[in-house]
Amino acid sequence: MIGQSNQYIAVLDTCVLAPMPLCDTLLRLAEEPAFYVPKWSRDILRELRSTLERMGYTPAQAHRRIVAMESAFEDANVAGYESLVAQ
């Protein structure tokens, strides 16, 4: 688990998590010493999986990438936000 020594929080959406160079850069900046704390939701990860597969990743590759992200940033997943999202 990455420590949360920084007060800045950023929600990372699929548009920045799908392109590997951008995703890699942003997640490296969130490692210790962290510039910010990354956050995402189950919905974002579901959309990411679908997007990666449309980009040509196999389902196994998409799954492996998401599992690696979740294990590196165990506290990144947020819940209870649904009432804040416009339908």
Domain residues for 46? 9-75
How far, in Å, are 2, 6, 25, 53, 86 from residue 19 at the CA level? 22, 25, 10, 12, 26
Is 86 a domain residue?
A: no
Is 15 a domain residue?
A: yes
Is the pLDDT confidence value at 82 over 90?
no
pTM of the predicted model as reported, rounded to 2 decimal places: 0.86
Is the pLDDT confidence value at 1 over 60?
no
Number of domains in the chain: 1
Query: Which residue type, as a one-letter code, is found at position 44?
Result: I
Which residues partner with 10 through β-bridges? 38
For residue range 9-62, list pLDDT tens digits in order: 999 999 999 999 999 999 999 999 999 999 999 999 999 999 999 999 999 999
Which is higher by pLDDT, 86 or 83? 83
Whole-number CA gyration radius for the chain: 13
Strands 37-41 and 77-78: parallel
3-state secondary structure of 10: strand
